[in-house]
Amino acid sequence: MSVWHISGGRRLSGSLAVQGAKNAVLPIMAASVLAPGQIELLNVPELRDVDTTVRILRTLGCGVEREGDAVNIDSRGLARSEIPHSLMRELRSSVIFLGALLARCGRARLSMPGGCELGPRPIDLHLMALRALGARIDERGGDLVCTTPEGLHGADIALPTPSVGATENAMLCACAAEGETVITNAAREPEITELQSFLRKLGAEVSGAGSATVTVRGGPLSARRVGHRIMPDRIVSATYLAACAAAGGDVELRGVCPEHFSTVLRSLSECGCDIMSKGARVRLRSDGNLTAPMPVITGPYPGFPTDAQPLMLAACLRAKGTSVFVENVFQNRFRFTEELLRLGARIHTEGRVAVVTGVQALHGAPAVATDLRGGAALIIAALSAEGRTELLDSGHVARGYERFDENLRALGADISRT
Ligand code: UD1
């Protein structure tokens, strides 16, 4: 358990290099077991979810070394295909090991994954895709026991929703399936394109990522030495910009892909922020006096990212007028708003919609981080509030942000963590 101590009211200014993307590195680490190989990943963020994934890889028999932002994975010694419940429950993306292990070993045994509490997060689409590829999946004592009695074969997989995780699982498993797999209504998130480029380095024939149709031509993968640099985190980028927008200031982010979060940039600019992006840099200037943006409606990429909704909402708490948020991806993604009320915010939620009426000022208060991005939203609000906030956090924020307090302090914030 940690406590964030934040004294708000300080402007943020300075320049920051943004960490590698959590949601890109986790499936890539899982993909590293697809074939016996030696993988060097660079720009790997230091996060609790990455540490847990390292532990999963070691449990499976892989050698894993970490040095600075580099993680070296030697998957030649992989000897097991089971992941214990204690590790599975720590993060949702552990479920991506299902496709990877089926591809490598032809079998896997793991329990239902954990992750953020954002309402029901089923894995039916993951299982549907893997079954279509030839996997037999039985539930035994809370575990998913997966085998491939007749081997894996290519299939047409039509996803009813463009699920990021199900697309990733299907892509990994299809790499070892005989013949062609076509995934339609695939997720189009940048992390899918990143996974495709890693899989190609492993020798897999994958195309179409970034569009709604991903095609994989499966076959045996040979042992390889592969190096890969993880793309920048678009949600972390959005977080620092939203914090600067709310608190006021002048912040430049380096090493980012602004086109990955253009919807967020558009909303922040509608709020009155002055935004300039050039190459891998984006600079945001805000006087802290924002105006409500056009309604923020989340959706699968290229829509407004659901993970950035709490951040944007926090930035709008003092914005002049009424800001409207429609959450189309996850139910229960407004739980964090109850905590924001403690800081003096005016928010009315009903089902998928949250309406924020801008207030003159927020005030510091004790609050609780309900989930990863909800916790970050509370920190953004606290940075723009008058007085002191103590945020109780059972480890949610550290799942997604590397050196968050240190980075915010470097920008001039008064924040510490005990
Ligand atoms: C990933 C991201 C998460 C992000 C989300 C949506 C990772 C590690 N996490 O999560 O940060 O918020 O994409 O951009 O990359 N669904 C089903 N059945 C399934 C799978 C999903 O009904 O089998 C539903 C979910 O409940 C949700 C929607 O599909 O309503 C989208 O979920 P999905 O894209 O799968 O999210 P994740 O991959 O879990």
CA distance 217 to 204: 7
**Minimum CA distance residue for ligand 1 atom 39:** 165
137-160 burial, b for 16+ CB within 10 Å, e for fewer? beeeeebbebbbeeebbbbebebe
Residue 15: CATH number of its domain: 3.65.10.10
Compute the distance from residue 125 Cα to the ligand 1 centre, in Å.
Answer: 10
Of 180, 204, 229, which closes a domain?
A: 229
Taken in order 286, 288, 294, 298, the sign of the CA dihedral is positive
CA count, 13 A, side-chain hemisphere, 249: 23
What Rg, from alpha-carbon coordinates, does the chain have? 21
Compute the distance from residue 241 Cα to the ligand 1 centre, in Å.
Answer: 24
CA distance 17 to 256: 8
CA distance 316 to 324: 10
Judge whether 173 counts as a catalytic residue.
no
**Minimum CA distance residue for ligand 1 atom 35:** 163
CA 118, 124, 129 angle in degrees (round to 5)?
A: 130
* Mean pLDDT, 10 residues at a time, the chain of 418 residues: 96 98 97 96 96 96 97 96 89 90 96 61 91 94 91 97 97 97 98 98 97 95 91 98 98 98 98 97 97 98 98 98 97 94 98 97 96 97 98 94 97 97
Q: Both 286 and 412 in a single domain? A: yes
User: Which one of the listed residues 116, 175, 244, 271 is annotated catalytic?
Assistant: 116
User: Structure pTM?
Assistant: 0.96
Query: Which residues face 181 on adjacent strands?
Result: 216
Tokens coding 177: 């399936």
Of 229, 247, 278, which closes a domain?
A: 229
Let me know if 399 is exposed, middle or buried by CB neighbors in 10 A (0-12, 13-18, 19+).
Answer: buried
Going by the DSSP 8-state scheme, the letter that residue 213 receives in this structure is E
Q: Both 210 and 260 in a single domain? A: no
Question: Per the structure, how many domains does the chain have?
Answer: 2
CB 199 within 8 A of CB 191: no
pLDDT reported for residue 115:
47
CB 192 within 8 A of CB 172: no
Q: Both 44 and 109 in a single domain? A: yes
| The ligand 1 atom nearest the CA atom of 118 | 26
Q: Which domain holds residue 204?
A: 22-229
